[in-house]
Amino acid sequence: MILSIIAYGHAILRQECTDIDEHYPDLQQLVDNMWQTMYGAKGCGLTASQVNHRIRLFIIDSVQTFTNLSPEERNDYFDGDKGIQETFINARIIDSSHKTWIDEEGCLSIPTLSAEVERPWSITIEYLDRSLQPQTATFNGITARMIHHEYDHTEGILYLDYLKPLKRTLFKSKLEKIKKGKIKAAYSMSFLP
**Residues that are catalytic:** 150
Give CA separation, 175 vs 25, 70, 114, in Å: 34, 33, 11
The answer to whether 163 and 117 have CB atoms below 8 angstroms apart is: yes
The answer to whether 13 and 47 have CB atoms below 8 angstroms apart is: no
DSSP 155-173: TT--GGGGS-HHHHHHHHH
Angstrom distance (rounded) from CA 118 to CA 102? 4
Angstrom distance (rounded) from CA 41 to CA 62? 15
35's CB contacts (< 8 A; 6+ apart) are 59
